[in-house]
Chains A and B, each alone.
Chain A
Amino acid sequence: MPDPNDPFLARSLQALQENVRRAGPAATAGYTLIGAILLLGGAGHLVDRWVGTAPWFLLAGLLTGMVVGFYELAKTIWKP
């Protein structure tokens, strides 16, 4: 916690640092959820284009992405 006797700039920097430190896990969780869906959905889309089975691998990729994303989200939230 920032010390009220410090100069204004030092207190601001300390407050920023503290907030960023606490926001770190939230940033991980949010982007991992989106990242998993994008990565696996994208991989599914590529497989679809390669084999010509649209839209099945895309759908499977998006679903798997959600599963992996939520699994990682759960791991971040229920950290021991």
Chain B
Amino acid sequence: MLMRRAATDAGRRDSNIMTSAAQHAEDTHAAAGHAADDHGGEAFDAGEVIIEHIANSPIDHPILHLPHLAGIDFSVTKHVMMLWLVAGFLFVVITLATRRFLAQERPIPAGFMNALEAVVQFVRDSMVLPNVGAKWVNRWTPLILTLFVFILTANAVGMIPIFEVFGLLDRFVLHTSEESLLNSVLHGGATTTANYNVTAALATITFFAIIVAGSLAHGFITHWKNLVPSGLAWPIYFLLIPIEVMGMFVKPFALTMRLAANMSGGHIAILAILSFVFIFNQQFESQLLGIGVGALVSVPLAVGVSALEIIVILVQAYVFTLLTSVFIGMAIHVHH
């Protein structure tokens, strides 16, 4: 609920910023008189454009209106829609592939199933098994695998310019109205894992998984006793217990920050580099210079950063899930 409220607040703040920015743009427009018309529109604001492409769509203009329940607005924004799309896509594709494979007469995987099997085997044998141990590996592999596949797909969807293509189509071919569904889908970023609320929810799963893992392996009371080493002089415990309890919250918090920061960072870098085109065009009032900067600097650099992003997508999904299994393993195998 707290996260939801934070999301609502953030959405409201975003829309406030946008409204004030729009007003500001209008004011400057009025002051400049006809001067702005010669350039064909309002001034380019790189910050505003970048935020618009990263942040969630404003909750004031949701994609789907839903009623308030217990004071929480359940309306579907862009990131919520992408979450459901990614989850639904994975559910359908993986279930279909697995069912088709199980229905085969000869159990030999082919094509997509082959890749899927490689991923499952990789997660089980090189992430979960070394950390969790042979006794618990089959219990924790499904959770880790779900996290891995979901984060990987959610990261990757942000790199596929689906909505940018829709935007082009809408602008030059379809010309839909401001209130149409297609138009409302175009606002906001598509990478759900760049939203701190999403990664915080994922890290909350990790947080509870650690407690459940420790409780299953040692019993609920012993799990909490295992937080601190036994047999130390008693004054040490006054220091150690608070530190360990705070450390318990810090670990998921670090997971939250790392995933969201890495995912939004790459996108901000690409957008900032591409903004050079419009900044140079506007600053020197020369379209040729803008195009030149775009062709020689922005596009090659953006391609390079995008290539780097593909690695980041894999590495971040890997690190999040690896650390989840490391923490689960630490709760099961207590070393002190």
- Taking CB atoms and an 8 Å cut-off, the chain A residues in 19-42 that contact chain B are 20-21, 24, 27-28, 31-32, 34-36, 38-40
Do B318 and A72 have beta carbons less than 8 Å apart?
no
Q: Are A21's CB and B126's CB within 8 A?
A: yes
Chain B residues closer than 8 Å to A17, beta-carbon distance = 126
| Chain B 270-282: CB-based contact to A (< 8 A → 1; otherwise 0) | 0000000000000
Please report the total number of A residues contacting B with Cβ < 8 Å.
23
Is B246's CB under 8 angstroms from A68's CB? yes
Q: Is B201 an interface residue (CB 8 A)?
A: no
CA gap between A64 and B322 in the complex, in Å: 27
A4 to B335, CA, bound (A): 38
Does A16 interact with chain B (Cβ within 8 Å)?
A: yes
Q: Chain A residues with Cβ under 8 A from B251's Cβ? A: 32, 35, 72
Q: Is the CB of A39 within 8 A of B323?
A: no
Q: How many A-B residue pairs have CB under 8 A?
A: 60
Q: Which of A27, A31, A36 contacts B246 (CB 8 A)?
A: A36
Interface size class of B (residues with CB under 8 A): 20 to 34
Chain A CB within 8 A of B110 CB: no
A34 x B254 contact (CB < 8 A) = yes
Whether B253 contacts A39 by the Cβ 8 Å rule is: yes
**C-alpha spacing A36/B250, complex, angstroms:** 5
A71 at the interface (CB under 8 A from B): yes
- Give CA–CA (A32, B315) in the complex, Å: 17
* CB-defined contacts of A34 to chain B, threshold 8 Å: 254, 257
A54 at the interface (CB under 8 A from B): no
B243 located at the interface, meaning its Cβ lies under 8 Å from any Cβ of chain A in the complex: yes
Q: Could you tell me if B243 and A68 are in contact, using CB atoms closer than 8 angstroms?
A: yes
Min CB distance A36 to B, Å, is 4
A20 CA to B322 CA in the complex, in Å? 10
CA distance A68 to B258 in the complex (A): 18
- Report whether A39 and B249 are in contact in the complex, using a CB–CB cutoff of 8 Å: yes
- As a 0/1 sequence over residues 219 to 255 of chain B, the CB contacts with chain A under 8 angstroms (1 = contact) are 0000000000000000000000001001101110111
Residue among A20, A31, A64, A67 facing the most chain B CB atoms (10 A cut-off)? A31
Contact check, A28 vs B323: say whether CB atoms are below 8 A apart. Answer: yes
- Say yes or no: A72-B315 contact (C-beta < 8 A), given A24-B322, A24-B323, A34-B257: no
A35 and B257 within 8 A (CB): yes
Which residue on A lies nearest to B258, using beta carbons? A31
- Complex contact B254–A40 (CB within 8 A): no
B319 touches A20 (CB 8 A): yes
Within the complex, which residue of A20, A28, A38, A68 is in contact with B318, where a contact is CB–CB below 8 Å? A20
Q: How far is the CB of B151 from chain A (nearest CB, A)?
A: 14
Contact A27 B335 (CB under 8 A): no
Q: Which of B9-38 contact A (CB under 8 A)?
A: none
Chain A proximity mask over B117-136: 1 for CB below 8 Å, otherwise 0: 00000000010000000000
**Cα-based distance from A40 to B257 in the complex (angstroms):** 14
| A80 interface contact, C-beta 8 A | yes
* Residues 34 to 64 of chain A near chain B (Cβ within 8 Å): 34-36, 38-40, 64
B246 to chain A, nearest CB (A): 5
- Contact check, A27 vs B250: say whether CB atoms are below 8 A apart: no
B326 proximal to A (CB < 8 A): yes
**A4 → chain B closest CB, angstroms:** 21
Is A27 within 8 A of B258, CB to CB? yes
User: In the bound complex, do residue B311 and residue A16 qualify as a contact, i.e. CB atoms below 8 Å apart?
Assistant: yes
* Nearest 3 A/B pairs, CB to CB: A35-B254, A31-B254, A36-B250
Q: List 12 A-B contacts (CB under 8 A).
A: A20-B314, A21-B126, A27-B319, A34-B257, A36-B247, A36-B254, A38-B257, A39-B250, A39-B253, A40-B246, A68-B247, A72-B251
